[in-house]
Amino acid sequence: KLLSEYAQDLGMDLSSGRVKYVRSLLIINKLHKAGTEDLKPTFEAWKLFVEQQSRLAPAGVRLLMSSPSFTRLDVELGVLSSTLTSFTTCIAITMVVLLLFTGNLLLTTL
């Protein structure tokens, strides 16, 4: 009966009857479509919690966090970071090329 009630939340090895994984649904008190700035502190707190629990777990056991909202947040942060890095790199390369071709620091910085 226990297995039928929690079949979606338990992963069993059918040959030995041992539990392979347990899934737990946790809900945070944030809007589903909340923005990056609103979700980031919660995401960072959960990420730290997952890392701490995985360190405390027995060998071969770890905690995984899977959330569409957190996945979207992580992708948004990655895109923002890479965009900023690309923009900064582009400006730096442009300034170096201008300095090489003009030989004039004042003209390069204008």
pLDDT digits (tens, 9 = 90+) for 46-100: 889 888 888 888 887 777 777 787 888 888 889 999 999 999 999 999 999 988 9
Q: Is 0.95 topped by the overall pTM?
A: no
pLDDT digits (tens, 9 = 90+) for 8-45: 777 777 888 787 778 777 777 777 677 778 888 888 88
Query: Is the Cα dihedral 35, 76, 62, 57 positive or negative?
Result: negative
pLDDT for position 86: 97
Reported for 71-80, long-range contacts at CB under 8 A and 24+ positions apart, including other chains, are: 73/36, 73/39, 73/40, 73/43, 74/43, 76/36, 77/36, 77/40, 80/36
Closest CA to 33 of 66, 76, 65: 76
Assess contact for 11 and 19: CB atoms under 8 A. Answer: yes
Assess contact for 99 and 108: CB atoms under 8 A. Answer: yes
The CA-based angle 67-68-72, given to 5 degrees, is 115
Residue 104's pLDDT band, with cuts at 50, 70 and 90, is confident
pLDDT for position 72: 83
